[in-house]
Amino acid sequence: MRSKRIAVFSPAGLPLFVGLLTGGLGTNAKAQAFQELLEQGSAGLQVLALDSERGLRENSLLNPGNRIARLPAGQTEVEGRLDLKLATDTFEVSLKPRARFEWRRFGETGPETRLDAWVNQGLVTLYPVQSLAVSLGRDVLMWGPSNFRSPSNPIYFENGRNNPMRELRGVDVAQATWSPTQALSLSLLHQFGDGRGDWQWEKEDGFKALSLLKVDYTAEASVVGLNASKRWAHERPHFGAFGQTTVGEALLLYAEGGLRQGTSALYPERLPNAVGGAFLPRHARDHRLIYSALAGGGYTLDSGHTVYLEYLSNNEGYRWADGARYFDIATRASSVLTLPSPDAALAGQTLGAALNNGLPLLGRHYLFMQVQNNPTDTGPTWQLRYSLNLVDGSGQASAYAEWNVWSRVALFALGVIHHGGPRTEFHSLLSQSILVGARGYVL
């Protein structure tokens, strides 16, 4: 049960809303119009309570003694998710405020508490004509069929599908979508905020505004999407594309990619200093083509379970020599940091740059597999995922399950195991983690 529909009436539309705002209706008419407007809305309220425990990697080269990343060993959370929506034939208003209380446990240093409240999504959409939609507010802009990452999306390369209980943070956008036919749509949008209160059109550091043009075409068994975008802070354009097609009743094939020139990511360079090097923006101003391309498919078994297999190539990631240099510098910095030294500050800054190097993925070649059960099955729903770095051999395996134990209560659990050596991507910070919790539908 996701939301409570208050009622379903034929939409009163924008004239009714305008009449309410301008006072053009009598008192009784206003009351009746307001009631009719409310009856076209829906409301949903979820409350989640969860606890997670992390197994931090001992003797981590990137995070010695947990002094750099400061990852909590455990965390208890309570989160409320309110979803409100009002829809007519000429406009739609949606609001999704969130509130979360966190109790983070850091072992010997003691716990920390945090209380946050924010609007994850809030959007006003107008339909001046049947084929045109104009919206303003905060939204999550997702597209593409991929499960591992979304290389065609310049906003959400990390698509959030590794943890079904976490929501992606909305961004502040103005958008217009024109659909001249049922198969074709063209969208123009401008992202003017990052969803965290930073509303700036141009900024040298931190958030950078983005403008994007997107075209989507839907055929009987296929979908194709193209987009071009630019961040307005001296960055070159980004081009993205995805396509998917259904072969028969059981097989889905798809591909997705992104392309641009240059990258502001940090790369390891050897220098004659105490830690043996630094992380610098090697390709920030060159014309090198940076691409990320994914090819995959999904096959539905007779049981209804679906198996997905994907391969990602990403030339923004480190080559083998860069990866070795990355951990060489981290090893030197970690050694300096663990002993009293006048170079401790440099070592800490270097490890901080290593963890925040601007790369969504450290390597260049990945294999991903996912198996999920038929969502229409009775009993629990489950999902198994495995990601493998084909260069350093490290990997991450996860299992998620959710049980509807009552009409308004569900239990869920997520377990993650990392494998690889200390100089590998997936096993450099964490060894394992587990999350368990419950979700209640109040409305």
Contact 325, 233 (CB under 8 A): no
Q: Assign 70 a pLDDT band (cuts: 50, 70, 90).
A: very high
Report the distance separating Cα 86 and Cα 40, nearest Å: 6
For 34, residues 6+ apart whose C-beta sits below 8 A from its C-beta are 20
Residue type, 432: Q
Query: Dihedrals φ, ψ of 429, to 5°?
Result: -120, -45
pLDDT digits (tens, 9 = 90+) for 84-112: 999 988 999 999 999 999 999 997 778 99
Please tell me the predicted confidence (pLDDT) of residue 110.
82
Please tell me the predicted confidence (pLDDT) of residue 26.
59
Residue range 274-288: average pLDDT?
Answer: 91
Closest CA to 306 of 367, 249, 240, 365: 249
Q: Residue 368 is encoded by which pair of tokens?
A: 């991903």
Least confident range from 13-17, 149-153, 259-263, 369-373: namely 13-17
Please tell me the predicted confidence (pLDDT) of residue 4.
38
Q: Assign 254 a pLDDT band (cuts: 50, 70, 90).
A: very high
pLDDT digits (tens, 9 = 90+) for 309-360: 999 999 999 999 999 999 999 999 999 998 888 999 999 999 999 999 999 9
Q: Residue 175 is encoded by which pair of tokens?
A: 């958008």
Q: Residue 267 is encoded by which pair of tokens?
A: 């790369």
Task: Write the DSSP assignment of 58-77 as a string of letters.
Answer: TT-SSSGGG-SS---SEEEE
Task: Identify the three-state secondary structure at position 305.
Answer: coil
Report the distance separating Cα 329 and Cα 277, nearest Å: 6
Task: Write the DSSP assignment of 324-340 as a string of letters.
Answer: HHHHHHHHHHHHHHTS-
Closest CA to 12 of 95, 90, 93, 94: 90
Residue type, 201: W
CATH topology of domain 48-441: Porin (2.40.160)
Least confident range from 46-50, 114-118, 121-125, 157-161: namely 157-161
Report the distance separating Cα 43 and Cα 410, nearest Å: 19
Q: Assign 7 a pLDDT band (cuts: 50, 70, 90).
A: very low
Closest CA to 236 of 299, 311, 289: 289
pLDDT at 116 exceeding the cut of 80: yes
Please tell me the predicted confidence (pLDDT) of residue 370.
98
pLDDT digits (tens, 9 = 90+) for 386-421: 999 999 999 999 999 999 999 899 999 999 999 999
Closest CA to 256 of 225, 284, 234: 225
Q: Residue 92 is encoded by which pair of tokens?
A: 């739609």
pLDDT at 204 exceeding the cut of 50: no
Report the distance separating Cα 316 and Cα 310, nearest Å: 18
For 370, residues 6+ apart whose C-beta sits below 8 A from its C-beta are 147, 307, 308, 383, 384, 385, 386
* Beta strand segments in 251-305, E: 251-261, 267-270, 277-280, 289-300
CA triple 229-169-158, angle to 5 deg: 60
For the four alpha carbons of 80, 195, 362 and 382, in that order, the dihedral sign comes to positive
The domain limits of the chain are: 48-441
pLDDT digits (tens, 9 = 90+) for 46-56: 999 999 999 99
Helix, strand and coil content of the chain, in percent to the nearest 5, comes to: 15, 50, 40
pLDDT at 76 exceeding the cut of 70: yes
Task: Identify the three-state secondary structure at position 275.
Answer: coil
Q: Residue 3 is encoded by which pair of tokens?
A: 């939301």
Report the distance separating Cα 149 and Cα 293, nearest Å: 10
Contact 440, 46 (CB under 8 A): yes
Report the distance separating Cα 210 and Cα 189, nearest Å: 8
pLDDT at 5 exceeding the cut of 50: no
Q: Residue 385 is encoded by which pair of tokens?
A: 């995922």
Report the distance separating Cα 438 and Cα 441, nearest Å: 10
Q: 228 - beta bridge partners?
A: 213, 239
Q: 273 - beta bridge partners?
A: none
pLDDT at 8 exceeding the cut of 50: no
Q: Give the residue with greater pLDDT, 195 vs 112.
A: 112
Contact 175, 193 (CB under 8 A): no
Please tell me the predicted confidence (pLDDT) of residue 31.
65
Question: Could you give the residue ranges of the DSSP H alpha helices within 26-103?
Answer: 27-38
